[in-house]
């Protein structure tokens, strides 16, 4: 291969990607899997399902990339133009591939479905490509080499693309990208925003060596720190990476809750199981989101007892046993109510710990004293009950997500 060409381009074909009808999850999945195998991605491109757009994208990539991975446009319908365009670009002609024809017929026969003429067309393939078996569907992958650039065309159906990537693309092309050994890990943090976190760890970041890269990946309630180290061998890279993380732990031990995208709810589940404790939730502004997250973890029935979603004040009174006089005096969004919600649901459910949320998610309902984004989160254990006030902002979805993550992190710290 030409030394001037480096890395991988990912091209996603489909008008639905450009109009926002479909999110390009294929490209993000591919990039993650390639990165995990130290196969560097140069760029990700979404293009229209037209011959002009496809040809232009292929020409652009052939000048810079070692490998181009293309998904979409290989279906049996008339709006799928990729195969005809491929023939123009690679000086090919479509011919019947008997092996693929047999596969398509067998695929439909096993499912008791009628084979249509459109499905038979899946076996019409360029005469100068290597066919890649699609074990999950009828449209095969196609592999070409042109001007020392390698091209792999795959269907856009996610599970079909994933099988071709896993079974053929990644194993086959690992040998082509001769880069240094890499070790990487994502440090999961919660409890401090991106800019404040960057200030706190700035000295640590400033002394990272040139072979180490750090990326900040913020989202509501958490910041992921992605570290990767390149070295001459895997052992050296892993040793350096581990030292960087140990140094980071000395600076922000209270903010780090896990590694490699481990969710807070999984960490909480582990802590509850280790300590033999049970949990319940009482939620107002989060509407059951905390309970949903906790119960998304397999085995949560061992520690999660239940939840009361007390959105209306009468539910707070009738089901959580909160005196309406207290709500009238302090308001539903208050320290007093948050503490009572947590403590009372813990007593009702007979658990060791409970969490509560009450707030003004917006966009309406705020006042000068309690603007939109005001949230109280309560924690109750057998030993103590307390609540903390937060001001998250004026955007509803952001407020509920911040409340969810903050409540989970408060639970983690308390446990």
**Could you tell me the two tokens for 313?**
């004040």
232 pLDDT more than 90: no
Contact 290, 264 (CB under 8 A): no
CA distances to 60, 162, 224, 265, 292 from 402, in Å:
41, 33, 15, 14, 15
Query: Could you tell me how many residues make up the chain?
Result: 415
What pLDDT is recorded for position 126?
94
**pLDDT value for 1:** 39
How far is residue 319's CA from residue 316's CA, in Å, rounded to a whole number?
6
SS3 at position 342: helix
Query: Tokens 């009828």 appear where?
Result: 138
Residues 6+ apart with CB under 8 A from 163: 134, 135, 136
SS3 125: strand
Longest dimension (CA), the chain: 81
CA atoms of 252 and 220, how far apart (whole Å)? 19
pLDDT tens-place string over residues 177-214: 655 678 889 999 999 999 999 999 999 999 999 999 99
DSSP E strands, 118-244: 124-126, 130-132, 141-146, 149-154, 181-189, 212-219, 222-231
Whole-prediction pTM value?
0.72
Evaluate if residue 243 carries a pLDDT over 60: yes
The reported pLDDT for the residue numbered 343 is 98
Q: Which pLDDT does position 122 carry in this prediction?
A: 80
Per-residue pLDDT band for 273 (boundaries 50, 70, 90) equals very high
Report the distance separating Cα 347 and Cα 406, nearest Å. 23
- Write out the H or E segment, with its range, that includes residue 170: helix 170-173
- Which stretch of 173-177, 296-300, 394-398 has the lowest confidence by average pLDDT? 173-177
- Rounded Cα distance between 200 and 194, Å, is 10
| pLDDT at 270 (0 to 100) | 97
Of the chain, the percentage scoring pLDDT greater than 90 comes to: 77
pLDDT score, position 2:
43
pLDDT tens digits for range 2-43: 456 888 999 999 999 999 999 999 999 999 999 878 788 999
The whole-number pLDDT of residue 35 equals 85
Q: Which residues contact 212 (CB under 8 A, 6 or more apart)?
A: 227, 228, 229, 240, 241, 244
Q: Alpha helices of 215-281 — where are they, by DSSP H?
A: 234-251, 264-275
- Whose CA is closest to 100, among 129, 70, 79? 129
Q: Which residues contact 359 (CB under 8 A, 6 or more apart)?
A: 284, 285, 333, 373, 374, 375, 376, 390, 399, 403
Can you give the pLDDT at residue 76? 64
Write down all domains in the chain, each with its CATH number in brackets. 8-176 (3.40.980.10), 181-259 (3.30.70.2860), 271-414 (3.90.950.20)
Q: Distance between alpha carbon 159 and the CA centroid of its chain, in Å?
A: 17
Least confident of 16-25, 49-58, 106-115, 155-164: 106-115
Confidence of residue 407 (pLDDT cuts 50, 70, 90): very high
Tell me how far apart the alpha carbons of residues 185 and 208 are, in angstroms, rounded to a whole number.
15
Predicted local confidence at residue 177, as pLDDT:
60
pLDDT digits (tens, 9 = 90+) for 115-155: 777 777 788 899 999 999 998 988 899 999 999 999 999 99
Between 63 and 107, the higher pLDDT residue: 63
């Amino acid at each position: 291969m030409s030394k001037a060409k480096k890395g991988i381009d990912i091209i996603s074909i489909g008008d639905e990607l450009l109009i926002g009808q479909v999110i390009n999850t294929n490209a993000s999945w591919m990039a993650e899997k390639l990165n995990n195998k130290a196969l560097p991605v140069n760029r990700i491109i979404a293009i229209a399902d037209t011959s002009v757009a496809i040809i232009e994208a292929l020409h652009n990539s052939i000048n810079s990339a070692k490998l181009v991975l293309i998904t979409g446009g290989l279906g049996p319908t008339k709006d799928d133009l990729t195969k005809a365009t491929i023939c123009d670009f690679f000086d090919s002609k479509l011919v019947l591939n008997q092996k693929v024809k047999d596969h398509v017929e067998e695929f439909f026969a096993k499912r008791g479905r009628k084979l249509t003429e459109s499905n038979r067309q899946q076996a019409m393939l360029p005469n100068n490509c290597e066919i890649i078996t699609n074990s999950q569907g009828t449209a095969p992958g196609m592999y070409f080499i042109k001007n020392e650039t390698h091209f792999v065309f795959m269907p856009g159906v996610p599970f079909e693309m994933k099988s071709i990537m896993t079974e053929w693309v990644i194993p086959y092309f690992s040998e082509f990208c001769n880069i240094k050994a890499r070790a990487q890990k994502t440090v999961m943090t919660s409890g401090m925003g991106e800019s404040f976190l960057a200030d706190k760890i700035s000295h640590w970041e400033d002394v990272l060596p040139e072979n180490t890269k750090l990326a900040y990946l913020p989202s509501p309630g958490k910041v992921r720190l992605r570290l990767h180290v390149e070295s001459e061998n895997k052992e050296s890279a892993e040793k350096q990476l581990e030292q960087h993380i140990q140094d980071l732990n000395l600076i922000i031990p209270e903010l780090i809750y896990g590694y490699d995208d481990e969710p807070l709810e999984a960490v909480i589940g582990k802590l509850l199981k280790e300590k033999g404790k049970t949990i319940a939730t009482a939620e107002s502004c989060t509407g059951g989101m905390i309970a949903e997250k906790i119960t998304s973890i397999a085995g949560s029935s061992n520690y999660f007892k239940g939840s009361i979603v007390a959105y209306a004040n009468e539910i707070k009174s009738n089901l959580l046993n909160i005196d309406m006089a207290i709500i009238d005096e302090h308001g539903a969004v208050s320290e007093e109510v948050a503490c009572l919600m947590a403590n009372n649901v813990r007593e009702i459910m007979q658990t060791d710990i409970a969490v509560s949320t009450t707030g003004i998610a917006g966009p309406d309902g705020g006042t000068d004293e309690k603007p939109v984004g005001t949230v109280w989160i309560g924690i109750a254990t057998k030993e103590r009950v307390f609540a903390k006030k937060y001001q998250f902002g004026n955007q509803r979805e952001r407020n509920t997500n911040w409340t969810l993550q903050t409540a989970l992190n408060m639970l983690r710290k308390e446990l």
